[in-house]
Amino acid sequence: MPRIALVLHGSAMLYEVAIAAEVFGVDRSELSPTGSWYDLVVCTADGSPHPWLPHLPTATYAETARVDTVLVPSSDDLDDDPDPALLDALRAAQARGTRIAALCTGAFVLAAAGVLDGRAATTHWMHAEDLARRYPQVDVRPDVLYVDDGDVLTSAGKTAALDLCVHLVRLDLGAAAANGIARRLVVPAHRTGGQAQFITPPPEPRSPDGLAPTLAWARARLDQPLTVRDLAAHAHLSTRQLARRMQAELQAGPLDWLHQQRIARAQELLERTDASVDQVAASCGMGTATTLRRHFHRALGVTPTAYRATFRLARPGERPAPVDDGSILGPWQHQRARPASTGS
């Protein structure tokens, strides 16, 4: 029976704690090939029972020395210094070869302990840049749902924590057990793509005397062939001046910005219209459905059809059509993000 220590540090967040307790703290031995489920212990600083999970056994952080996996939930205060006793316990667990997993911003706790040094890791996309800035020795992957780096695992934000927990079940008890609990929780056993499909595009300049008029002009003509010369002419700049201005204000060159806008337009059309993939491709300037699929998958990790199935806004009274992507009933696809891969 795998033993897991769920660390409830001082700034732990309820959502991820509840996910871990639901997956590992409820006896689902009928799903396991071994006939047993997990032994989950809650670890607090002084070993006192936690009001969120009063029915589960509780111990101090020292209990992490006697488990197979240490699970660290997200933190709601990234500026709060983690408990030194917890950091020591995590370092000791890593030295013993214990598997350590962080959910969402729990990655900041692992990074503070040095557990993520020299490793690939992820966290919620809104905090990925902050994680990379604070801990440059960590290879932060902002576009994946989770990273499995062997004995250290991290997940992206919120529901991606559930993806990682189901993945741990798969590693420990096999695909049948993971698929079984996914059915119980009414979630996919494996989601395609990564968190790039959820990331909000960065804001753009709104100053009327800056680039905003040219950017608006270009967005209104995404279905047409546009060149850097076209944008520069409209902005009354040389192509070199335009490139410098866009890089400074948008952190993207003219062609990269145009590509981002075409992808964003495709997302909007897939969410809000019934246009075919061919029509969407033409409307956003991608030309053909084949070209759109290639660039869309490269940018977001999913196909246009899969994206529409997830994000399309249903009309009143309409039920969204189910998508069979092999997530639950079909063959399992391994999602493992290594330093040389995209993880999506």
pTM to 2 decimal places: 0.63
Render pLDDT for 81-91 as a digit per residue (tens, 0 to 9). 899 999 999 99
pLDDT in tens, 246-286: 988 888 899 999 998 998 889 888 878 889 999 999 999 99
What is the C-alpha separation between 255 and 226, in angstroms, rounded? 9
* Numbered ranges of CATH 3.40.50.880 in the chain: 3-192
Start-end of CATH 1.10.10.60 domains in the chain = 212-311
Distance in angstroms (rounded) separating the CA atoms of residues 48 and 42: 9
What's 29's DSSP letter? G
The token duo for 195 is 């968190």
What is the pLDDT confidence band of residue 205, given thresholds at 50, 70 and 90? low
Which CATH number is 3-192's, of 3.40.50.880, 3.20.19.10, 3.40.190.10, 3.40.50.1820?
Answer: 3.40.50.880
Q: How far is CA 42 from CA 3, 115, 171, in A?
A: 11, 21, 22
**Residues linked to residue 3 through DSSP beta bridges, in sequence order:** 39
pLDDT in tens, 309-324: 766 654 545 544 443 3
The alpha carbon of 317 is separated from its chain's Cα centroid by a whole number of angstroms, namely: 31
Rounded to whole angstroms, the Cα distance separating 292 from 270 reads 12
CATH 1.10.10.60 corresponds to the domain 212-311: yes
16-37 burial, b at 16+ Cβ within 10 Å, e below that, comes to bbebbbebbbeebeebbeeeeb
